[in-house]
Amino acid sequence: MPKQEELVPHISLWQAVRYWFKLGCISFGGPAGQIAIMHEDLVEKRRWISERRFLHALNYCMLLPGPEAQQLATYIGWLMHRTWGGLIAGGLFVLPSLLLLMLLSWVYLRFGEVPAVAAVLYGIKPAVVGIVAFAAWRIGRRVLNNMLLCAISLMAFLALTVFHLPFPYVILCAAIIGVIGGKFAPHYFRATSPGHAPSGAEQHAPALIADDTPPPPHARFQLRKLLLALVCGLLTWLAAMAVLRWSGQPVLLDMASFFSKAALLTFGGAYAVLPYLYQGAVQSFAWLSPAQMMDGLALGETTPGPLIMVVAFVGFVGGWGQALFGADQLLWAGIAAACVVTFFTFLPSFIFIFAGGPLVESTRGNLRFTAPLTAITAAVVGVILNLAVFFAMHITWPQGMSSTPDWFALFASVLALVLLIRFKLGVLMLIALFALLGLAYRLMT
């Protein structure tokens, strides 16, 4: 009888590569939608990982600066297939979005406004609202299993929506509640037993990485491994900076330095760091105009991959506008800049996973560590709901609450949520359907 930890290699690296590439192509809906897709695929359908192990990894990724969905994919890939598995999972999560954004950026700069593309994006935005709201409903249904966790979620939502508190403060407060609650009221922060899991998947199909599967050798914590991962990450960053300095392109060096700092400030997702990006890219360095920044955000919202991939658009436009390689090499200037800013934006995410993953694996089942993470997960439900409200307000009243609402966007958002909850329509099908709806609506008006 094979040991449980020997089950993981039954998913070959090639099988994983195919899945991670597919995920990178369909990961619409921002972090909430992407996490929902991974949960449905990896926890419910494929049974690669159990619910508790998935949420434990997600909690850690939520604490980190950077795109949590990409970090979660990196974590699971690393857990299954070591460092190469993590690099492939995290890299393929970003690659389709990078390629698509470079293509759209070229079209945007070369041909100006494209009505057909604008119509497609107009239709997809309400679908994004539905996907995010659906993720809040779905994760909340599994996580909020007592009144205290429901209260934490509600307080997080109100703190962000009504009082506009910074995201890191909300997460910090949730963690403090978890620390105190884990000591004085531990029963509120214990994971639901498998017999009472919201989904019946655990009862019918054991996961390859189950609740009681011991960490594989590479995922067992050793201080030497932690220091080695940190040193390798730092040397990689220094080597890349040295190459850019040797290239004699000060604009690329400025981009690398600026986006390295931005990568360490992205607590709470891309929206938390957008003011910093705007201040640096638009006001300080003048790589692009305010209008171009808003257009880039729209593209980032409606392409697969993390929303922070808007940095690829910023880099492409900046490299093109600065004519890094001369006036006749604008395309290659844009491509080089987009790749540079993407590399330096995501490098810290890989370092955090490879360095901290073994430590996180060693904390499973320890209530002193899991209670704060359980409280954070509850708060995250409120955070996701806040994001859904933000998106809905942004597309329904684009000119402000005093303006006339966009009735198509409002109706389409509700329709998207109904199709996801009631009719269980797949995310990819939903995106395609609403792209056609937007195109048809704009043709008729």
Asked whether residue 2 is assigned to any structural domain, the reply reads: no
Of 10, 30, 40, 16, give the one whose Cα is nearest residue 90: 16
Alpha-carbon span 135 to 127, nearest angstrom: 12
Range(s) of the domain holding residue 272: 19-207+224-445
Alpha-carbon span 237 to 222, nearest angstrom: 23
pLDDT at residue 307, as a whole number: 76
pLDDT at residue 165, as a whole number: 83
Q: Which residues contact 136 (CB under 8 A, 6 or more apart)?
A: 32, 381, 384, 385, 388
Q: What is the pLDDT along the chain (445 residues), one digit of tens a residue?
A: 444 444 444 788 899 999 999 998 887 656 767 887 898 889 888 889 988 889 888 878 877 778 888 999 999 999 999 999 999 999 999 999 999 999 989 988 886 566 777 787 788 778 878 877 887 888 788 788 899 999 999 999 999 889 888 766 887 899 899 999 988 988 888 754 333 333 444 444 677 888 788 888 888 888 999 999 999 999 999 999 999 999 889 999 999 999 998 888 665 556 556 667 877 888 889 899 876 886 777 677 667 888 788 899 999 999 999 989 988 999 999 999 999 999 999 999 999 999 999 988 887 766 677 788 788 878 878 877 887 887 788 788 877 777 889 999 999 999 999 998 999 887 768 878 988 998 999 888 8
Question: Could you give the 3-state DSSP secondary structure of residue 209?
Answer: strand
Q: ∠433-300-22 over CA atoms, to 5°?
A: 60
**Global confidence as pTM:** 0.70
Alpha-carbon span 163 to 386, nearest angstrom: 12
Asked whether residue 295 is assigned to any structural domain, the reply reads: yes
Asked whether residue 142 is assigned to any structural domain, the reply reads: yes
Asked whether residue 3 is assigned to any structural domain, the reply reads: no
pLDDT at residue 387, as a whole number: 73
Alpha-carbon span 339 to 316, nearest angstrom: 8
CB 33 within 8 A of CB 72: no
Q: Which residues contact 269 (CB under 8 A, 6 or more apart)?
A: 30, 31, 67, 68, 167, 307, 308, 387
Asked whether residue 14 is assigned to any structural domain, the reply reads: no
Asked whether residue 162 is assigned to any structural domain, the reply reads: yes
Q: What are phi and psi of 90, to 5 degrees?
A: -70, -35
pLDDT at residue 32, as a whole number: 67
Asked whether residue 164 is assigned to any structural domain, the reply reads: yes
pLDDT at residue 48, as a whole number: 92
Alpha-carbon span 319 to 16, nearest angstrom: 34
pLDDT at residue 278, as a whole number: 78
Facing residues of 209 across strands? Answer: 49
Residue 234 has which token pair? 């730092």
Alpha-carbon span 259 to 344, nearest angstrom: 6
pLDDT one-digit tens code per residue, 228-281: 999 999 999 999 999 999 988 999 999 999 999 888 866 555 655 666 787 788
CB 317 within 8 A of CB 109: yes
Q: Which residues contact 381 (CB under 8 A, 6 or more apart)?
A: 136, 139, 140, 143, 144, 153, 156
Q: ∠109-326-345 over CA atoms, to 5°?
A: 60
Asked whether residue 188 is assigned to any structural domain, the reply reads: yes
Count the Cβ atoms, other than its own, within 10 Å of residue 205.
12
Produce one character per residue of 106-135: b if its CB has 16 or more CB atoms within 10 Å, e if not: bebbeeeeeeebebbbbbbbbbbbbbbbbb
CB 119 within 8 A of CB 364: no
pLDDT at residue 302, as a whole number: 64
pLDDT one-digit tens code per residue, 299-308: 776 678 887 8
Tell me how many helices (H) and strands (E) the chain has: 17, 0
pLDDT at residue 301, as a whole number: 65
Overall number of domains in the chain: 1
pLDDT at residue 193, as a whole number: 38
Alpha-carbon span 92 to 341, nearest angstrom: 17
pLDDT at residue 5, as a whole number: 41
List C-alpha distances in Å: 85 to 12, 105, 180, 339. Answer: 10, 30, 37, 21
